Structure 1
């Protein structure tokens, strides 16, 4: 089991954990950016086929996760607060195929979707910077009368969603080529030795069988 080796990876010290006086916006931005970076890192070093392959019965795939997360940011941290990005998102139009935001067509390139995601970051970050956290927005796809949300809530929602999908990407990447790790700055893995991981997995398998035998 190894960690992905990113190409042109960022300096591990480039963005440290916020310190000093409490700054809620800085804390929120830090946590959201960690998830964004982790998600894109999982694409690095893979073929066009592998970043698009459906790796679960419900079709989970790496590039589709990026496409989805870009759409989520532009919606919750753009349109919701009267700040439309102007980005065309045909996969969300009325009449689009169900789940069209969760996979990439052959015509949608890796570069175009990664660039869209980065533009979504910039647009979302500009919204966070421009508005107080208690600003009220309205989510266009929520039920009328129950569609109000604060910017604080929207940022937490997007951050939670992105971290969830970064976790999906962790598992998909490990299934594809065995590469694992939490981030380019800290893999959070106890060992890089494949033999150690084989022994570890075997130990878990034996424990599971033993527990099952006792039921």
Structure 2
């Protein structure tokens, strides 16, 4: 396989793994749980998927003169601030996931059609630094998607304890709930001791800066 094709295959593999992980985090949850804000800044699972779809269509579509034709009113000029980070009641889970899958296909077609050193212009970046290569754009999308897949992993664990990149792959040691409870308690004690706070085992000793 030519080097360029090998690099593209590697990039696609890691991007697709992050995409799949992000979508999987929605499975088995109620409408309320996929939508509700779980941090003070409103981070929520379905909003992360909606955001990721726009990122792919922008960086791996519009940037290289390949608009998808998908209507994205939440990204239009004058749209409400942060409108791409949550789902309105009339935006269904199925529609958002379907949009994300169409974004994958459009982005993958761009990567397949163009060389990695092809250059594009990011419409929403300052003009003096708006040019970038396809390679740069794909790496940027991988980084963004992986970051949000990590957010989703933490949110889902908080909701029902589910973890991992995909079913059967938790990336965690195989242990029962009793072990995890004891492990968490041990970390709590260590944190309190390092901070000089009292623990159930006795007074803490403040660490020297």
TM-score higher than 0.5 here? yes
Contact 1:38-1:184 within 8 A present in 2 as well: no
Question: What is the alpha-carbon distance in structure 2 between the residues aligned to residue 177 and residue 206 of structure 1?
Answer: 24
Relative to 1, partners in 2 of residues 1:185 and 1:178: Cα closer, same or farther, differing over 3 Å?
closer
User: Which of 140, 144, 149 is 1:157 aligned to?
Assistant: 140
Matched, 1:177 2:160: yes
Partner of 2:87: 104
Deviation at 1:144, TM superposition (A): 1.1
How far did residue 191 of structure 1 move?
2.1
| Counterpart residue number, 1:69 | 52
Tell me the distance in 2 between the aligned counterparts of 1:192 and 1:86. 48
Q: Which structure has the greater CA radius of gyration?
A: 2
Quote how far apart the aligned CAs of 1:146 are. 1.4
Q: Distance in 2 between matches of 1:48 and 1:204?
A: 34
TM-score by length of 2: 0.91
> How much does 1:179 deviate?
1.2
What do the CA deviations read for 1:159-211 (whole angstroms, capped 9, x no partner)?
00000000000011011111112333622110241111101101101111111
Structure 2 equivalent of residue 33 of structure 1:
16
Structure 1 runs (4+) greater than 6 angstroms displaced: none
**Counterparts in 2 of 1:21 and 1:94: CA distance versus 1, 3 Å:** closer
Which structure is higher in RCO with an 8 Å CA cutoff and minimum separation 6?
A: 1
Structure 2: segments with no counterpart, 5+ residues? 197-205
Equivalent pairs, count:
196
Task: Kindly indicate whether residue 134 of structure 2 is the aligned counterpart of residue 128 of structure 1.
Answer: no
Instruction: Write the distance in 1 (CA, Å) between the matches of 2:175 and 2:97.
Output: 29
Deviation at 1:110, TM superposition (A): 0.2
SS in 1 for 2:120: strand
Aligned to 1:115: 98
Q: Aligned partners of 1:201 and 1:21: how far apart in 2? A: 48
Once superposed, what is the RMSD of the aligned Cα atoms? 1.2
Query: Are the aligned partners of 1:41 and 1:183 in contact in 2 as well (CA < 8 Å)?
Result: yes
Map of 1:51 onto structure 2: 34
Shift of 1:55: 0.2
CA distance in 1, matches of 2:81, 2:175: 40
